[in-house]
Amino acid sequence: MSGVRLLVGTRKGAFVMTSDGTRERWDVTGPHFGGWEIYHLKGSPADPNRLYASQSSSWFGQVIQRSSDGGKTWETVGNKFVYDGPTGTHLWYDGTPHPWEFERVWHLEPSLTDPDTVYAGVEDAALFRSTDGGHTWQELPGLRTHGSARSWQPGAGGMCLHTILLDPSRPERIFTAISAAGVFRSDDAGKTWRPMNRGLKSDGIPDPNAEVGHCVHRIAMHRSRPSVLFMQKHWDVMRSDDAGESWREISGNLPTDFGFPIDVHAHEPDTIYVVPIKSDSEHYVPDAKLRVYRSRTGGHEWEPLTKGLPQRDCYVNVLRDAMAVDSLDPCGVYFGTTGGQVYVSADAGDSWAPVVSVEVHTLP
């Protein structure tokens, strides 16, 4: 029988959860790296036993861990992230110029074809790549030196590059998303970049056609249809059918369109999931009910998924990387809350069950 491995990053360490195809009983190992914040964990599509983890601490900085046996053992690899060339400045919260400073790795995206190649999205926003399994890292400076970069400004969580999507049909195409600059696309393997934010409307930006400055929270694609992108923005759930060239709103009948995660069903490219929360300043689910919303129509029409989820006295949030799907049939859907629960659905969201209680930070 097929199995599934779920990687859970929390502020208290990392957990590896495994189950058979029924996804009813789970073995949980961890915490790995106890006491460290795990900003991201991700396995290589080319070698599922090759995992990468971003381990961070206010005291001791950034550490990158690598596993070659599915998370049973780990080794420390390179943590030297040095911007390539003069760093220049971006805007600080108060609008003054502020030099680029490396803070941490928010996202690790292994290559679709090579287990030793992995991309890292960092704060302050930049894209790095390793081609030796994480031992050394080189910046792809074209993004950070884009002409608009001096006007980028951090979101509340810092100026982080939090999403990296690799196009399976065009190896030279990479999408990134930065809070609070927006979406950028490269069609030459990361050398040059273009902002991809046309159609995004953000109340906090006076220019309705602003090229950058949008607080994109996450973007997602289905690998069979990489020109279609789905976005959870600060407010608004959005969709692009032209690889980011233009966006249109698909919030439809959602109770609120503020949230962080968005993901796509493994086998149905038009089935998407979000977890709305009340507002930008009220980071908890509306009406004290934990509801995942699913659209089977690529947006606009959403249904609440509640079976097995708390429907009273619940005040949690689900952060941007804390949702994932598996590739089994029926598709499994997973999410972790800021309250510390990991929920699993083995039937594409129709019903849910809690698996473990930890403080979930990231869930690739």
Contacting positions for another protein (CB under 8 A): 35-36, 57-63, 76, 79-80, 82
Q: Are 108 and 115 in contact (CB under 8 A)?
A: no
The dihedral region occupied by 269, where left means phi > 0, alpha psi between -120 and 50, and beta the remainder, is alpha
C-beta of 77: minimal distance to another protein in Å?
Answer: 9
Residue closer to another protein, measured from CB, 2 or 76: 76
**How far, in Å, are 13, 37, 64 from residue 59 at the CA level?**
15, 11, 15
Residue closer to another protein, measured from CB, 79 or 246: 79
C-beta of 55: minimal distance to another protein in Å?
Answer: 9
C-beta of 215: minimal distance to another protein in Å?
Answer: 28
d(CA 330, CA 41): 24
d(CA 185, CA 190): 8
**How far, in Å, are 145, 216, 217, 281, 315 from residue 95 at the CA level?**
19, 20, 21, 21, 33
Residue closer to another protein, measured from CB, 102 or 258: 102
Residue with tokens 């809070």: 179
Question: ω before 255 within 30° of 0 (cis)?
Answer: no
Residue closer to another protein, measured from CB, 78 or 354: 78
Residue closer to another protein, measured from CB, 60 or 92: 60
C-beta of 48: minimal distance to another protein in Å?
Answer: 25
C-beta of 60: minimal distance to another protein in Å?
Answer: 4
Could you tell me which of 131, 74, 81 has the C-alpha nearest to residue 101? 81
